[in-house]
Amino acid sequence: GSDVGSQKDRVVTEEEWLQKWEKGNIGFHKEQRHPLLQKHLDVLLNGRSGLRIFFPLCGKAVEMKWLADMGHSVVGVEVSEQALQEFFAEHNLPYCEEPVPEISGAKKLQSTSGNISLYCCSIYDLSSSIVGKFDGVWDRGALVAVNPCDRQRYVSLMITLMEKNSSYLLVTVSYDPNKHKGPPFYVPESEIKSLFGNHCEIKCLQKVDDFSDIHRKWGLDYFLEVLYILKFGA
């Protein structure tokens, strides 16, 4: 892809992500619930209750508590243990920690109520035999954070984690990739179709102008959030 500019070879290491959390350099974290999830939640839930919902590269996303409070079971994965500890602390949620026997060095932090389970490890170490399958996914800041060279690997894994008749809400970002090296990375619609197209029905639900001062500092003149719903069949 010439349309992704020089981004295709860009690599951000796990160490760099850990440092972002350590230094509090987490402009990607939103203190409020994401308006696109609030607006389109019914598309994700599709009239169903008690779903298992996955948050890939979850950070300390506030929506995890919101969905758990609705009666859903939330599972997240994140390399930064600090991010997960901050999530539980900021919501005053007691939790316990246990090792994940199948993954060397991994931990699971689980709310004592049992409805939020957050894995501290690389997402690529997960599999459906460890975390099960999901009825819904909220992917905001995950696909766009994955190194472009790992995108196929990421999507292949995500597809194996989808239950029949599940829904996957995906937020990507659109801007001129020749002007900013990422992350977040630009993922064009054509690539969403080539990555997921054989496995589900894809529909673009909304594009939102999300341009702010930070994007101006990056040298950009526009920045959009693009929301897709991916529907997996029976």
Residues at the binding site for S-adenosyl-L-methionine are 17-28, 57, 78, 122-123, 140
One-letter amino acid at 186 equals Y
Within a domain: residue 212? yes
> Is position 8 within any domain?
no
Residue 78 belongs to a domain: yes
Q: Quick check: is 6 in a domain?
A: no
Q: If pLDDT is split at 50, 70 and 90, which confidence band does 4 have?
A: low
CATH number for the domain including 56? 3.40.50.150
Residue labelled with tokens 């054509």:
190
| pLDDT exceeds cutoff 60 at 1 | no
Known binding-site positions: 17-28, 57, 78, 122-123, 140
Domain span at residue 166?
Answer: 14-24+33-232
Whether 3 is in a domain gets the answer no
The answer as to whether 5 is a domain residue is no
pLDDT tens-digit series, residues 108-133: 999 999 999 999 999 999 999 999 99
- For the segment 127-150, the average pLDDT, to the nearest whole number, is 98
Q: Is residue 2 part of a domain?
A: no
Domain assignment of residue 1, yes or no: no
* Tens-digit pLDDT profile for residues 208-224: 999 999 999 999 999 99
Residues 71-110 have pLDDT tens digits of 999 999 999 999 999 999 999 999 999 999 999 999 999 9
Question: What is the number of other CB atoms lying within 10 angstroms of the CB of residue 234?
Answer: 4
Q: List the end-to-end C-alpha distance of the chain, in Å, as a whole number.
A: 33
Q: How many domains does the chain have?
A: 1
pLDDT band at 6 (very low <50, low <70, confident <90, very high): confident
How far is Cα of residue 66 from the mean position of the Cα atoms in its chain? 16
